[in-house]
Structure 1
């Protein structure tokens, strides 16, 4: 969080000193009274800041960490959903393969029974009355025709049985393959669930630390908060391009003032990549969910060539994104505890890549 002080002269300087002194006292009291992450048996920083500058630096660092963890969690949750679908499909394939094997066994059994009956009737030792009953004709020519048909039926039944046995082998192989795929998908699903739980715990730890720092800020009076709050620039007078790019930028600017919330994609709150995804969706362009994935779409743009609608990605690995308004400013959802706002492009953080998805 940046510090924006609008009061000038010696009175402004005196006011800043008074605010910083009061804030420092509040921070020291609050942090000394609260348990550290180490005391709670959780990893974290034990040396808490006791000055305004230290608090602001700590807040920015925690917010940066939290945003990265949040992006990781969203990505893992997407992977988990994919693996759950794969596992479900594997179960369905295994069930279908088992049914196919059962059907093939039934066909083989029926074909073998049919062949046995026909062979018995066609055998020289067969009962003539039974044969005559089977042929249902006293005409010699008709008997020959029917005998030929019976012989063919026997051959076909034998072929059906053989084909059925082959189908059983193939179906049982399919059952085995589907069961193996199901087992593998479930193992991967379990591993991803474990990773998601670990990331979730880390996110919760960061949220507690951020809340501790925010607690000190909340003790300030509204006038003191106003001196420390950076609400960013105004969207008044921003030149909106024509076409889809203009529609995307107009949507993003319309969200100024809405709160940053982890995992939110609107309409009342956003995280950084959620703001980009929803803005671009207004014109039918589907971006990936998280910033590290969004940073792979479109074409790479040099910093000198940036223009409205381009997405600017920050940090390495990428875990924050903003949308360019012009060559100097961008709109973004900063971090926990802040609202969507306009900021200087180069002041947001270290730029990793700039991408353009619409010309």
Structure 2
């Protein structure tokens, strides 16, 4: 049969570049990342580096967030394709059934109530023939209704998928722009880092407390043990380990070793588990910072946390409150 016009529209819209994701409205930019504690006499160069690195990590997390949304929407669009294919198959089958029943009904129209009476051998035979005519008419009506429903469902799915494809194309443009902004910001931060004095770079590169730190039993303790074992490793924007990390990838990998799957981004990590107050913090809790929720650390106890700070600063232990203003604290286990 001829293709439904709405289906043709969807097939044209769901191109390789369109099958991506719905990120929606542009996400706001936030000044937020770990803030290495600056000395009172910090130079202008160090202050500039700190500001630029904070901006770069915020952009990095937003770019990761967009990529995560792409993957989610990919699945939704794939499902739309499957739904459309199923609706098209249903239309084909029902249309064939309708065609057969319509033809049979046309032939049956010649065999009316009078004809049934004249050719019947008995009253029961007449009733049987009349029942067959009724079944034929009812089946045709049911098949026609089924075909109509299938066409409507396919048209609705086509409309939704076409809208999704258009939004996905816009999302691709938005993500590309974010990547360009991120790359530029990283370059600026690295240039600022190179302008620092040797002593300032040495201070930033200090690994801090590398002593053995006990962890509690259980999955939270396992995650914390992994995070602590990464102390001294470098921060790299967007890195997923195992030799370099960014803040949220370290948290994700730490809980993965404990058999728990958590989101890749700080935004996602800010929604898992349950919220606890600052006074309730215990080992393994995720501490999310800044109003934009763009940095995360893992609590060691009620005072200290381990985190991947920013490029030029290794994974290290730091006072929980010195890292930045706390947005929310999430307990993943318990």
Look up the match of 1:20.
Answer: none
Q: Is the alpha carbon distance of 1:161 and 1:292 closer, same or farther for their aligned partners in structure 2, counting shifts above 3 Å? A: same
Preserved CA contact (<8 Å) 1:109 1:161:
no
1:115 to 102, 105, 112: 105
Preserved CA contact (<8 Å) 2:207 2:314:
no
* Alpha-carbon distance in structure 2 between the residues aligned to 1:205 and 1:150: 82
1:163 maps onto 2:153 in alignment: no
Report Cα offsets for 1:14-66 as digits up to 9, x if no partner. Answer: xxxxxxxxxxxxxxxxxxxxxxxxxxxxxxxxxxxxx9711111111111111
Report Cα offsets for 1:282-305 as digits up to 9, x if no partner. Answer: 222222221122123333333333
* Alpha-carbon distance in structure 2 between the residues aligned to 1:90 and 1:243: 41
1:339 maps onto 2:314 in alignment: yes
Select the structure that is richer in helix: 1
1:257 to 201, 226, 232: 232
Report Cα offsets for 1:128-147 as digits up to 9, x if no partner. Answer: 9xx8xxx9xxxx56xx7666
User: Structure with the greater relative contact order (CA < 8 A, sep ≥ 6): 1 or 2?
Assistant: 2
1:92 maps onto 2:71 in alignment: no
* Alpha-carbon distance in structure 2 between the residues aligned to 1:234 and 1:228: 13
1:105 maps onto 2:95 in alignment: yes
Q: Secondary structure at the match of 1:317?
A: coil
1:280 to 255, 280, 283: 255
1:184 maps onto 2:163 in alignment: yes
* Alpha-carbon distance in structure 1 between the residues aligned to 2:279 and 2:161: 51
Deviation at 1:112, TM superposition (A): 1.9
2:181 to 178, 190, 202: 202
Q: Is the alpha carbon distance of 1:347 and 1:151 closer, same or farther for their aligned partners in structure 2, counting shifts above 3 Å? A: same
Deviation at 1:239, TM superposition (A): 2.0
TM, length-normalised to structure 2 = 0.79
Q: Is the alpha carbon distance of 1:281 and 1:151 closer, same or farther for their aligned partners in structure 2, counting shifts above 3 Å? A: same
TM, length-normalised to structure 1 = 0.73
1:246 to 211, 218, 221: 221
Q: Aligned-pair RMSD on alpha carbons?
A: 2.8
Q: Secondary structure at the match of 1:358?
A: coil
**Counterparts of residues 34-183 of structure 1 (less than 5 Å):** 53-120=43-110, 140=121, 148-183=127-162
Preserved CA contact (<8 Å) 1:84 1:189:
no
Report Cα offsets for 1:72-104 as digits up to 9, x if no partner. Answer: 111112222222322222232223222212221
Deviation at 1:121, TM superposition (A): 5.6
1:310 maps onto 2:285 in alignment: yes
- How many equivalent pairs are there? 297
2:323 to 317, 331, 348: 348
Deviation at 1:109, TM superposition (A): 1.0
Report Cα offsets for 1:186-217 as digits up to 9, x if no partner. Answer: 12212322221221111011012122123335
